[in-house]
Structure 1
Amino acid sequence: MSNENMVMGVRDIPKKSRWFILSLQHLFAMFGATILVPLLTEMSQSAALVSSGLGTLAYLFITKGRIPAYLGSSFAFITPITLADAAYGMPGVMVGSFLAGVVYGLISVFIRILGTKWLMNILPPVVVGPIIIVIGLGLAPTAVDMAMNVNGEYSSAHFTVALVALGITILATMFFKGFFGLIPILIGIIGGYVFALTQGIVNTEALSQHWNELVNSGSIAGFFAAFFQVPDFTVPFKDYNPLEVVNAGIFWIMVPIALVTVAEHIGDQMVLSKVAGRNFLEKPGLHRSIMGDGVATMIASFLGGPPNTTYGENIGVLAITRVFSVFVIGGAAVIAIFFGFTTSIVLLIESIPSAVMGGVSILLFGIIASSGLRMLVDNQVDLGEKRNLIISSVILVLGIGGAYIQVNENLQIAGMALSAIVGVLLNLVLPGKEKSFGNGNMFEASEEITTDNEAA
């Protein structure tokens, strides 16, 4: 793909009159998904926004300002976060997130030294595809419970709201074009929220009280004091001692998922390279990109946010607008940080009923599962081959069935992590390894990608 239709290059600085709008567009594209993860895992939405913005800025710095990618909350970690929180509390989640970020860093070093072939052998499509399916379908009960139930009991009113939010999201995805076609999740949340207001299931007490405080602030200083707030950060050595929390159980819950998200990261980099018409895997290099992702996840672990990952939604914005400026991406990151410190935005997010998020999640989690199936199809993986059928079948049943190994009182390898480990091991020991890749190769950039000839 050539760069002939490029509106703005990777290092181009936008005009001041357009900068904010272009950045705001990227913020809207990632906003719905980024706040959904902390909502589902009962983490701080404001901390997620701030860590998303800071993580993106760190990513841009590490990649030398040459990859226009935005990083937001990772859906792959929803189940591990839930399991780690139940077993070890939020400090355990943060320690696990940090360890996952360390794994990113180690993989980055290995890629820098050894290239990508070793990673291909560990994570072929026949392993990664079923694991992504497990991620989506494993979350299905969470979405349905949020959509149908209130405190464990069925509610027709809540389920109606969920179906309306789901319907609006589907319509926006199918029929909206241009800018609005890039933010169907956000549109679904807004539409579902408005309908929920008419059904009387939105608790607006905190939001109303906040607006009264703004109106009656009495001074500019009072207004700003009410308008801004410090996010509910979870900071190591202040709120907890990570050295007292870290253990093998946290490691086995959180870290194996990093292998899956690394594979997703590589896929995103390939798509982004094709869209931008330059080979980001070569320059600035896949090792820098993965390192940036890992550092962003570490930053989130220091603030109480969920692990970060590059976002396909923002790649879609780049493809439509042909504006590839990293300064636009950086602007979106700064706005996200600002929103995280804004009381009004945080309270508005917290007032969204679980039914609305459940309705949107029904589609979103299904799309995650379908993307795993698409990986198998795109790479033409032959499930008629016995080894491929065995690997995919075992991964699916172990992951979705919730199997676990209880090593000792404090160590449990469960569900998604167990299925990922078993899948990798089966692929390494069963004969006919070349059949795991199908007729495609998700780790090699297309020949159509041109090389970035900009000066280093």
Structure 2
Amino acid sequence: MMKNQMIDVHEVPSPIRWFALSFQHLFAMFGATILVPILTGLSPSIALLSSGLGTIAYLIITKGKIPAYLGSSFAFIAPIITISNSEGVGAAMFGALLAGVLYGIVALLIYNFGLDWINRLLPPVVIGPVIIVIGLGLAGVAVDMAMNMHIDGNTVYSLKNFLVALATLSIAIIASTILRGFFNVIPILLGIVGGYVIALLVGIVDLTPIYIADTFALPTFTTPVVSWKAALIMVPVALVTITEHIGHLMVQGSIMDRDLVKDPGLHRSLLGDGVATAIASLIGGPPNTTYGENIGVMAITRVYSVFVIGGAAIFAMGFAFFGKLGALISTIPTPVMGGVSILLFGIIASTGLRMLVENKIDFSDKRNLVISSVVLVIGIGGAALKFEGIHLEVEGMALATIVGIILNLVLPSTKEEVDSQRQKDKVVDANTVEATV
């Protein structure tokens, strides 16, 4: 079978093909990017706008050498919900802003000291359980959305809603496991579309907002409000997404057959992600991250053009000002979103398990067992440190991340781990000498 002809980073496709390829990337990110604001109560239009602006900023900072699309980050869903409910959306945006600043600090440290320190600080035995916490910590939210209605402050079970959610979930599962090609890349979007049609048929969709909405409308912006509690909740999560970012960059480099960690450099890529997150926080959008969905599209099409990615970003910004689209998104019933969330949050948790398996974490080693066990229970159980005198609180996933880092640094390593690390250090030293020669 003949492979698709590659379009390299700085190549410009013909206008018609450029349009089609950019629109394809827009669809790949669309479902996931609007899902985050829907679940967290933020504006989908602002999410699209900040996604486009963040992607353009990323392309500029990385000198147009990394064709990565940035969309809403799922890792921040639980923190945004927690902070918005207690402190307000503005406080959540302040936490997101500081998360973006942390990206910049880590980028500066990597530029000056290399990558080895972050691997020691955040090994898979810490990050894997934290990712599991991110997914399972939202399990209750997904199930509640799928089967319950909230009427006048009361929770009422709805069989109709639950059946719609299960149908939505089934469509997403079929798209993810049976369909091939481009449709296999967008199972969440297909699940939402299919679930929406079913919800229309059973009469649980209110189309009134679409009729009364303006065709074009300016999105509603939200500015950050200083909250150090929000900072303590959001900033530790950035440590998790930073490791996710590094993984994405390495995968993309492998697909493109070039070392993106060296050129234009991991520090530039992280800085671009941080700036994108900061931009989003300043206008009221969710934190951004590089998207595996769009990396998958590049792997399938072998189209690496930054002009295609930039085109998708411009499309996203244009959609942000389409009032009818925002109104349409607002009419998606809660059980439809609950159905796709069951799969989505489960996949997030499973990604943490996959990390543990792929890195061959040995749970017969009591050190690994202790770290992962404590992180899981603290994170899923919702443990909290409350400093009432200064009105600060560290809880759930943020506390689990901090505890995991501390345990990893304090608990003595086994002989096998020490030998393995020494061997890695020897390889690094040998490569450094070879590069110098």
Normalising by structure 1, report the TM-score. 0.89
Quote the offset at 1:61 in angstroms. Answer: 0.5
Quote the offset at 1:7 in angstroms. Answer: 1.2
Q: Contact 2:233–2:394 at 8 Å: present in 1 too?
A: yes
The letter of the residue matching 1:209 is I
Q: Contact 2:385–2:395 at 8 Å: present in 1 too?
A: yes
Q: Contact 1:379–1:437 at 8 Å: present in 2 too?
A: no
Q: Contact 2:110–2:267 at 8 Å: present in 1 too?
A: yes
Deviations 1:20-74 (A, max 9, x none): 1100111111111100110001111100000000000000000001101110101
Q: Is 1:302 aligned to 2:313, yes or no?
A: no
Counterparts of residues 26-105 of structure 1 (less than 5 Å): 26-105=25-104
Which residue among 419, 423, 428 is the counterpart of 2:404? 423
Counterparts of residues 333-344 of structure 1 (less than 5 Å): 333-344=313-324
Which residue among 176, 198, 213 is the counterpart of 1:173? 176
Q: Please, which runs of 5 or more residues in structure 2 have no aligned partner?
A: 429-437
Aligned length: 419
Counterparts of residues 99-248 of structure 1 (less than 5 Å): 99-151=98-150, 152-210=155-213, 226-235=214-223, 245-248=225-228
Q: Contact 1:124–1:437 at 8 Å: present in 2 too?
A: no
The separation in 2 between residues aligned to 1:56 and 1:435, in whole angstroms, is 42
What percent identity do the matched residue pairs reach?
58
Quote the offset at 1:435 in angstroms. Answer: 5.9
Deviations 1:222-271 (A, max 9, x none): xxxx32110111135xxxxxxxx424312211110000000000011111
The separation in 2 between residues aligned to 1:184 and 1:305, in whole angstroms, is 24
Q: Contact 1:28–1:183 at 8 Å: present in 2 too?
A: yes
The letter of the residue matching 1:234 is T
Normalising by structure 2, report the TM-score. 0.93
> CA separation of 1:435/1:250 partners in 2, compared to 1, >3 Å: closer, same or farther?
farther
> CA separation of 1:132/1:373 partners in 2, compared to 1, >3 Å: closer, same or farther?
same
Quote the offset at 1:81 in angstroms. Answer: 0.5
Quote the offset at 1:198 in angstroms. Answer: 0.5
Deviations 1:115-136 (A, max 9, x none): 0111011100000000000000
Quote the offset at 1:5 in angstroms. Answer: 6.6
Q: Contact 1:403–1:414 at 8 Å: present in 2 too?
A: yes
Name the counterpart of 1:452: none
SS in 1 for 2:393: strand
Q: Contact 1:381–1:439 at 8 Å: present in 2 too?
A: no
Q: Contact 2:95–2:227 at 8 Å: present in 1 too?
A: no
SS in 1 for 2:375: helix
The separation in 2 between residues aligned to 1:164 and 1:297, in whole angstroms, is 34
The separation in 1 between residues aligned to 2:227 and 2:134, in whole angstroms, is 24
The separation in 2 between residues aligned to 1:11 and 1:434, in whole angstroms, is 48
The separation in 2 between residues aligned to 1:436 and 1:373, in whole angstroms, is 20
Quote the offset at 1:209 in angstroms. Answer: 3.1
The separation in 2 between residues aligned to 1:348 and 1:324, in whole angstroms, is 32
Quote the offset at 1:293 in angstroms. Answer: 0.4
CA RMSD of aligned residues (A): 2.1
Quote the offset at 1:87 in angstroms. Answer: 2.1
The separation in 2 between residues aligned to 1:415 and 1:6, in whole angstroms, is 47
> CA separation of 1:436/1:256 partners in 2, compared to 1, >3 Å: closer, same or farther?
farther
Q: Contact 2:94–2:227 at 8 Å: present in 1 too?
A: no
SS in 2 for 1:72: strand
The separation in 2 between residues aligned to 1:433 and 1:42, in whole angstroms, is 45
Q: Contact 1:126–1:437 at 8 Å: present in 2 too?
A: no
Q: Contact 1:388–1:436 at 8 Å: present in 2 too?
A: no
The separation in 2 between residues aligned to 1:347 and 1:58, in whole angstroms, is 28
The separation in 2 between residues aligned to 1:120 and 1:39, in whole angstroms, is 34
The letter of the residue matching 2:253 is S
SS in 2 for 1:227: coil
Q: Contact 2:4–2:301 at 8 Å: present in 1 too?
A: no
Name the counterpart of 2:302: 322
Counterparts of residues 408-419 of structure 1 (less than 5 Å): 408=388, 410-419=391-400
> CA separation of 1:115/1:199 partners in 2, compared to 1, >3 Å: closer, same or farther?
same
The letter of the residue matching 1:229 is A
The separation in 2 between residues aligned to 1:229 and 1:102, in whole angstroms, is 31
SS in 2 for 1:278: coil
The letter of the residue matching 1:103 is L
